[in-house]
Amino acid sequence: MNFTFLADEAAGFWFPPAASTFAKQVDFLYMAILWISILFFVPIVIAMLYFMVKFRQRPGYKGSPEALHNTPLEITWTVVPTFIVVWIFWEGMIGFLDMTRMPDDTVDVAVTAVKWNWSFKYKQNGAESTVLYLPVGKDIKLTMQSKDVLHSFFVPAFRAKRDVVPGRYQYMWFHPTKEGIYDLFCTEYCGDNHSTMITKVEVMSDEKYAAKLAELVKEPEDIVERGKWLYERKACKGCHYAGTEGAKGPGPSYNGSWGKQVPLADGREVKFDENFVRESILNPAAAHRKGYETASAMPSYKGQLKDEQIDALIAFIQSLETVGTPAK
């Protein structure tokens, strides 16, 4: 029977299924430290309880005033733990160095973290995605950057984690060993929707990987579908609800707002139309929606989106005119 405790799948008591070459060493050291701790903890607690009872204060009992000393015992409880701690440090250092030394022949992927989305760009053909697609049995190198605040990239099945620091590039590598779909989390608190900054890693055969990259590089021809495609890839989904997808905040929903008057924080009202959407994308600080004054600031996409891409996003938002009700 399988149990789960820290794992998110019924494949082990502590961890999800191992799916990278790092997992063996990480799991071994974790279990070694756990059992060393148990082997010390249990006898010490039993001895402590025994001594509490044996030497408790009671009528007629008088303890010895002499200080007891046992040199061999004191040497043992000093030397043995020292050797154990040195061994743990050595094993941990070997594992850490293995994780930081980049192999030469790697599959390179650029990772961008932005509240509250992950995006991935593949060096082979420039394709982009919000799910990380990888070939099995290859060394993978990630070059990671944050566009706003501190994030942290973590794939439990790979036993791989690295902070993504704004203003600099961070690097990590791993070697997936098993095809499948695995969770990818941000494990550094990064604001309102930190808990939704989750995506998947899909590991597949070389043939499927090549086909997937060829598929990803093609933008949909239909303008509304292209707008939805961009909504999913340009971090809009992390803050704005659209149709039945995306985060319900901290930004306003796209549903049902098109063509209506929307109140601004300065008391004005503006029409939710092409001009308003375009200005909100390129200069989001120009017109704050009422009720969202304290929400995390939206970054400007000036220089990041072409005019035809903005047109596609406008078409997508306009297609949601009759969906749901307007945001507040």
Q: What's the CATH code of the domain at 259?
A: 1.10.760.10
| Domain-embedded: residue 241 | yes
**pLDDT score at 328:** 41
Same domain, 229 and 314: yes
Higher pLDDT, 199 or 125: 199
Token couple for 281: 């994308």
Structural domain includes residue 13: no
Longest alpha-carbon distance in the chain? 94
Residue 199, pLDDT > 80, answer yes
Based on the domain organization, do 113 and 178 belong to the same domain?
yes
What is d(CA 256, CA 241) in angstroms, rounded to the nearest whole number? 11
Confidence bin at 326 (pLDDT 50/70/90):
very low
Same domain, 185 and 115: yes
CA atoms within 13 A on the CB side of 203: 23
- Say whether both 269 and 310 belong to one domain: yes
Full domain range(s) for residue 177: 107-216
Tell me how many domains the chain contains.
Answer: 2
Range ranked top by mean pLDDT from 190-199, 245-254, 259-268: 190-199
Rounded to 5°, angle at Cα 299 from 110 and 290: 145
Query: Residue 81: inside a domain, yes or no?
Result: no
Tell whether 125 and 194 lie within a shared domain. Answer: yes
Q: Are residues 194 and 249 in the same domain?
A: no
* Domain end residue (candidates: 172, 200, 216): 216
Q: Do both 153 and 238 map to the same domain?
A: no
The 3-state secondary structure of 105-128, one letter per residue: CCEEEEEEEECCEEEEEECCCCCE
Averaged pLDDT for residues 107-115: 93
Mean pLDDT of 80-90: 94
Task: With respect to residue 259, please indicate whether it lies within any of the assigned structural domains.
Answer: yes
Q: What is the mean pLDDT of residues 4-23?
A: 72
What's the confidence (pLDDT) of residue 294?
A: 75
Task: Kindly tell me if the per-residue pLDDT of 130 is higher than 70.
Answer: yes
Q: Are residues 196 and 249 in the same domain?
A: no
323 — pLDDT class (breaks 50, 70, 90): low
Can you give the CATH number for the domain in which 148 is found?
2.60.40.420
Range with the lowest mean pLDDT among 9-23, 87-101, 126-140, 154-168? 9-23
Mean pLDDT of 197-224: 89
In b/e form, how buried is each residue of 53-82, taking b as 16+ CB within 10 angstroms?
eeeeeeeeeeeeeeeeeeeeeeeeeeeeee
User: What's the confidence (pLDDT) of residue 12?
Assistant: 63
Calculate mean pLDDT across residues 53-74.
79
Whether 102 is in a domain gets the answer no
Nearest to 295 by CA among 175, 191, 139: 191
Q: 35-39, 121-125, 224-228: lowest mean pLDDT where?
A: 224-228
3-state secondary structure of 35: helix
Task: Check whether residue 308 and residue 238 sit in a common domain.
Answer: yes
Question: What pLDDT was estimated at residue 327?
Answer: 44
What's the pLDDT at 32?
Answer: 94
155 and 85 Cβ atoms separated by less than 8 Å: no
pLDDT tens readout for residues 262-292? 888 888 888 888 888 888 888 887 777 887 7
Query: What does the pLDDT read at residue 276?
Result: 84
Mean of the pLDDT values across residues 294-301? 77
Asked whether residue 201 falls in the same domain as residue 231, the answer is: no
Weakest mean pLDDT among 23-32, 48-57, 59-68, 106-115:
59-68
Structural domain contains residue 132: yes
Please give the share of the chain, as a percent, with pLDDT higher than 70: 93
Last residue of a domain, one of 155, 182, 216: 216
Of 201, 216, 231, which closes a domain? 216
